[in-house]
Structure 1
């Protein structure tokens, strides 16, 4: 099941993540990232590239989590880079860096879904 979402704004990525995760769409989740992106999840682990990110999300959706959209913070955009962040309903904070693609869409390059100070 693939429901490729095209992010026309950096914060679209966070919205689409919740939709795709709740639908169990691993392919859709992986498509939110650049091919060589780095995902820091679960905390203490790094997944680099689509193949490793796919493994993380296969395990994640197998647990059938029900995600609630958190509060998206305004994206901080400088040229083709954007810092995105959200406060989740449990109080955790996510922090990501997205890059504008040649077609004008956005993909995550770095993703720290559970930021711990």
Structure 2
């Protein structure tokens, strides 16, 4: 895996996600997740593990969606675990993530509830 900027605060992950997604970098997006992370997407199912999350984002980013930065809501932190969330501009409801501090002081997503808007073709 390439060397990527690390999220040194829980809130950094959202910024890095937007930057990497808009660049079409599925590997970079996956690098924001722990090896055994769980993502509640596609709707009604779960994607488990960094490699599966990378493969999912590869497919999503093929359509070249553009993500807008969203203002983080107050972060809750306790003993190396944090709950981050944003109020999305697209009206999809709240997005929430559980992130964990890594041994080097950086943060990675452990659980991700993205709440995407369904797109119909």
Normalising to structure 1: TM-score of the pair? 0.92
- Output the CA distance in 2 between the equivalents of 1:57 and 1:39: 11
Structure 1: give runs of 5+ residues left out of the alignment.
none
State how many pairs are aligned: 115
2:115 aligned counterpart, secondary structure: strand
Q: Which residue of 2 aligns with 1:8?
A: 8
Displacement of 1:45 in angstroms is 1.9
For structure 2, the residue ranges without an aligned partner over 5 or more in a row are: 117-121
Which position in structure 2 is the counterpart of 1:111? 112
User: What does residue 26 of structure 1 align with?
Assistant: 26
Give the SS at the match of 2:34: strand
Aligned to 1:89: 89
